[in-house]
Amino acid sequence: MWFDSFIESANKFLNEVYEELETAYKSGVEGIGNTLHGTVDWVWGTLLGNWNPNQTTSQIVADAALGLVPILNIILDIRDLIACIYAFYDEENENSEQEKWIMLILILSGFIPFLGDSIKAMGRIVMINIRRYGSQNIEKAVQSSLEPIVEFLQDEKVIRIISTNQINKVLKDIADQFREQARQLNSSKITNFWREVNLKIRGWLDYPLPEDIKQFLQKTLLLSENLLGKSPQPLAAGIGEVKVILLKTADELEQSGLKVQQNVKFNRKEDITTSRHSPNVTRAERRTIRCFQPSNSLLKKAKSEGKDIHKFEKEYYRQLKDQQNGINQLSAKEYLDGRDIYEKYGRIGGQAQQQARENYQKKIEKSLEGSYRKSGLSLNEAEIQAKNESKKIMRQLDALHSPDMIAGGKDKVMRLGDASINRSIGSQWRKNGRLDEMDDYAKEMMAKYGEHAKMNVELNRCK
């Protein structure tokens, strides 16, 4: 199908842009060479952008880095706006009508000129997390943006383009830009940006495109213009709220900047965690685990039930990344200790299993409490945070070893997605040496970097 071939060619293109980021930044997309580099696993998520609410940190960073490239940064803005427009017509989107308008205004506010491309790129990271967690969870969105912003500044390709080693200054610059956006924001400006996007889409239709892609763009333009026609009242109602969100985000960014160490000098071997009080830890090098694949019978069943195969594949991808993100929250030692317990007790069940889990959770809790105390928390604060974090770790270990569970646990399977996909992924863990690969990797990383090294695995669907 045209969409598959489009994704494949776009993957190669975006990968090439990223590999030649400095050249692309200096001379635009036209300056990139013709040599194609090896496929990078996060490209699919980068291409989907706002279509994918479950981007990994690496995908978010890559998305921001690609936004440094002239012309491409405009295309990424338009891509995100198109995704937001389609959200209004998506029956599965659970956001309220008001929230959809707020997100659309936030995206269009990004068209207001930034202080510079790098500040806009990092502002994009914050916006991704506001859209992910919602306009009522600004603090969580900002805290979740710190790790990808730091990783962005550490990226060797980005370092060649921008020069800064002061994370607190970076966060203040982003905060200042959000305040400027709030100051300039009004319905007229937003409407003009929107009309310009529609003109660009209309212009693309003049190019010799495959008929299916042309039909997609025509449909997009129709939906966009229809929504624009309905926009005066919701825009007028939402502008004030978006200004408050931008100003609140700016304040939260500035406060976060005051809490981090002044003049941080970044080291490529270290990774700064997003938790406010977590000690700095080493992020182990990336390891790709043997790919996962839905069975022919599962695909056949999905088709017979009238399921949209593109949505099915998107859900499969999302659930894989949920498990990947859960695993990568664990240290190598936490992973191996958990595996040992499940190998001994996991299939026995009952009281022995429950006691083993409780003992291990207490062990994790005690270790975390000590770390939090060293980082400056009071005894009460350290106890509360250690208890909450240890519960999260145990949920992730449950997810890895129970075929019917994913990140949130068995009671949340139906809320999180298609249970048949979840079972398909879960049943493959013990096949073809996947768990052995994970165990060997965790042991190797613990020996190389120590027991606190964070897991860093990549889970993919087979091509």
Render 100-111 in DSSP notation, one character per residue. Answer: HHHHHHHHHHTT
Give the Cα-Cα-Cα angle 127, 128, 133 (nearest 5 degrees).
95
Three-state DSSP state, 350: helix
What are the sequence ranges of the domains in the chain?
2-259, 287-458
Question: What does the pLDDT profile of the chain (463 residues) look like in tens digits?
Answer: 444 455 555 555 666 666 667 666 665 554 444 333 333 333 444 444 445 556 667 777 777 777 777 667 777 778 788 888 888 887 766 778 888 899 899 888 887 766 566 787 888 888 888 888 888 888 888 888 888 888 787 777 777 676 555 677 788 888 888 888 888 889 998 999 899 989 988 887 887 767 777 787 888 899 999 999 999 999 999 999 999 999 999 888 888 776 654 434 444 333 333 333 344 446 778 888 899 888 888 888 888 888 788 778 877 887 787 777 778 777 888 888 777 766 665 544 555 556 666 777 788 888 888 877 777 778 887 888 888 888 777 665 554 444 333 222 222 222 334 567 777 887 888 788 888 898 899 999 888 888 778 888 888 888 7
CA–CA gap between residue 442 and residue 422 (Å, rounded) = 24
CA–CA gap between residue 270 and residue 443 (Å, rounded) = 19
CA–CA gap between residue 361 and residue 272 (Å, rounded) = 24
Residue 23 confidence (pLDDT): 65
Q: Which of 339, 325, 303, 336 is nearest to 451 (CA)?
A: 336
Cβ 345 vs Cβ 352: under 8 Å: yes
CA–CA gap between residue 315 and residue 311 (Å, rounded) = 6
Per DSSP, helices labelled H in 185-231 are 187-204, 211-229
DSSP 143-190: HHHHHHHHHHHH-HHHHTT-----HHHHHHHHHHHHHHHHHH--HHHH
CA 335 to chain centre: 22
Give the Cα-Cα-Cα angle 10, 76, 193 (nearest 5 degrees).
145
Q: Which of 193, 32, 177 is nearest to 119 (CA)?
A: 177
Q: How far is CA 445 from CA 228, 309, 337, 392, 438, in A?
A: 52, 38, 14, 22, 11
DSSP 425-448: HHHHTTSTTHHHHHHHHHHHHHHH
pTM of the shown model: 0.51
Cβ 407 vs Cβ 416: under 8 Å: yes
Q: Which of 340, 88, 319, 335 is nearest to 226 (CA)?
A: 88
Residue 281 dihedral angles phi and psi, to the nearest 5°: -135, 165
Entry field: residues in the chain:
463
Q: How far is CA 178 from CA 4, 181, 456, in A?
A: 37, 5, 32
Residue 323 confidence (pLDDT): 78
CA–CA gap between residue 14 and residue 26 (Å, rounded) = 16
